[in-house]
Amino acid sequence: MNLTFDERLVAVGTGIRTVGQLTGEALAWIKRADKVLYVLSDPVSERLIHDLNPTGAESLQHFYVENKVRREIYEQMIQLTLGYVRSGRVVCLAVYGHPGVFAFPTHESIRRARAEGYQARMLPGVSAEDCLFADFNIDPGSAGCQSYEATDFLVNRRITDPSSHLILWQMIVLGDSTYRWQVDSPPAMRQFIARLTQQYPPDHVVYVYEASIFPGVEARIEPVTIAQLGQVRYTTMSTLYVPPCVAPRADLQLYQSLGIPLG
Ligand SMILES: C[S@@+](CC[C@H](N)C(=O)[O-])C[C@H]1O[C@@H](n2cnc3c(N)ncnc32)[C@H](O)[C@@H]1O
């Protein structure tokens, strides 16, 4: 792919399984950039980035330190990215998944670069949610789908519909603003279970989900009741999928007046 653009900053996603989910345009930018700053979830992907751009690849992983405030980690990543942009380099910010899905440093780097007059853009990638739809064989069009960061869902009293699919991200840092690698029970789990049981029965089965990051390896799909959520191990890859527990409350009059068949 031949790239003749004026972009100075491009955020790309490598997919959840880099081998197989890296798009052609992301690959082209990784090769073309002067600097490829990356946050990836496995050594195979890192190796691939270095093979594609041996002189420009630089990991941002060292900013992640256990217990460090996440905002501080993100700010350091953004500062480094903008520093390279200002120095005249073409920068590719490569993160796993989709670069715009639960990824603050990519959005913020683009915002700030544009505010300083540089051309910057984001390319779509395959997110964990895309993998979830495939692995669970569910279509968000069938019942609607709500997707929240788990702490945001809890502390901002998000209004959810138990007749829709519900996806809760970043379970490992539920109620915690610092970086964690793995925990047995996030600090706000008690309040989280209480919140869910306002709308779902405690024995409703939900799933701790970790999409496979390597071809040929199965996803982690661990069924657990809502009441048991405090007894599960969570990692940086854990997403919670809550299936619907009730049928939607249909407006029968409207069905009839619009001539929509009940089904
Ligand atoms: C900072 S976000 C990054 C999301 C990523 N940009 C994407 O497009 O999927 C991290 C959260 O994504 C979810 N996640 C990351 N990897 C995952 C995987 N392999 N399977 C399921 N969820 C994953 C988890 O909820 C995790 O806490």
Q: What CATH number corresponds to the domain at position 92?
A: 3.40.1010.10
Q: Do residues 28 and 91 share a domain?
A: yes
Tell me which residue has its CA closest to atom 2 in ligand 1.
102
Can you read off the two tokens belonging to residue 257? 């007046």
Residue 250: inside a domain, yes or no? no
Q: Do residues 51 and 146 share a domain?
A: no
Residue 103 CB–ligand 1 contact under 6 Å = yes
Q: Which of 64, 70, 121, 148 is catalytic?
A: 70
Which residue among 122, 145, 162 closes a domain?
A: 122
Residue 248: inside a domain, yes or no? no
Structural domain boundaries enclosing 65: 9-122
Domain count, the chain: 2
Distance CA 133, CA 220 (A): 14
Q: Do residues 77 and 100 share a domain?
A: yes
pTM over 0.75: yes
Is residue 70 flagged as an active site residue?
yes
Distance CA 93, CA 12 (A): 6
Distance CA 152, CA 2 (A): 41
Distance CA 252, CA 262 (A): 8
Q: pLDDT digit of tens for each residue in the chain (263 aa)?
A: 555 578 999 999 999 999 899 999 999 999 999 999 999 988 999 999 999 999 999 999 999 887 888 899 999 999 999 999 999 999 999 999 999 999 999 999 999 999 999 999 999 999 999 999 999 999 999 999 999 999 999 999 999 999 999 999 999 989 887 666 666 777 899 999 999 999 999 999 999 999 999 999 999 999 999 999 999 999 999 999 999 999 999 999 999 999 999 87
Q: Do residues 30 and 115 share a domain?
A: yes
Which residue among 122, 147, 174 closes a domain?
A: 122
Ligand 1 mutation pick, 122, 236, 242, max ligand atoms within 8 A of CB: 236
Which residue among 122, 152, 172 closes a domain?
A: 122
Residue 127 CB–ligand 1 contact under 6 Å = yes
Q: Do residues 79 and 184 share a domain?
A: no
- Residue among 134, 234, 242, 221 nearest 184 (CA): 234
Strand partners for 120: 9
Is residue 148 flagged as an active site residue?
no
- Residue 181, C-beta contacts closer than 8 angstroms, at least 6 positions apart: 66, 235, 236
Tell how far CA 17 is from the center of its chain. 13
Q: Do residues 106 and 157 share a domain?
A: no
Distance CA 260, CA 173 (A): 44
